[in-house]
Amino acid sequence: MSLVKLQGTPSCFVCGNENDNPRSLGLNIFWDNESRYTFISFIPDESWCGYEGMVHGGLLAAIIDDAMAWSIKASDDDIYVTGKLTISFRKEVRCGKKYVAHGFLERKEGRRAYTSAVIKDEEGNTCVEGGAIFIRVK
């Protein structure tokens, strides 16, 4: 692994900082230059829950969205917004356990960027899978 820390977006709910967005999760985004994916490590706390002890799926979708957005940004300064987001929850994500998210840029076609992402637990099990089409803003 050869991880580079990306700057984050100060106001972002996922990768922002507490000064610009007190409600941000404040997650650090890294880019792996060798494997060419984003790397986000996190340990959810109880405030992330839907059902008790189980992390809210919408919040996991936000992390997946960010992991994919940054997989484009790592090699492209243009602004892309999420046009279509798909997500599959394969295994519950529990508060207090450690997880990693990876986002991959698959390909670009015109203004579209096709991406994918996963969230895995410490044992390497895939808990969440995502895919998205991002659209480059004119």
Ligand X SMILES: CCCCCCCCCC(=O)SCCNC(=O)CCNC(=O)[C@H](O)C(C)(C)COP(=O)(O)OP(=O)(O)OC[C@H]1O[C@@H](n2cnc3c(N)ncnc32)[C@H](O)[C@@H]1OP(=O)(O)O
The binding site for ligand X (CB under 6 A) comprises: 9, 12, 65-66, 69-70, 73, 81-84, 110-112, 133, 135, 137-138
Rounded least distance, CB 61 to ligand X, Å: 10
**Positive or negative: CA dihedral 29, 130, 118, 1:** negative
Contact (CB, 8 A) for 82 and 72: no
By C-beta, is 75 or 125 nearer to ligand X? Answer: 75
Nearer to ligand X, 12 or 55 (CB): 12
Distance, CA of 28 to CA of 37 (rounded, Å): 14
Read off the amino acid at residue 108.
K
Which residue number is nearest to ligand X in terms of Cβ? 83
DSSP annotation of 78: S
Nearer to ligand X, 69 or 127 (CB): 69
How far apart CA 49 and CA 108 sit, in angstroms, is: 35
Min. distance of Cβ 89 from ligand X in angstroms? 19
Question: 65 or 128: whose CB is closer to ligand X?
Answer: 65
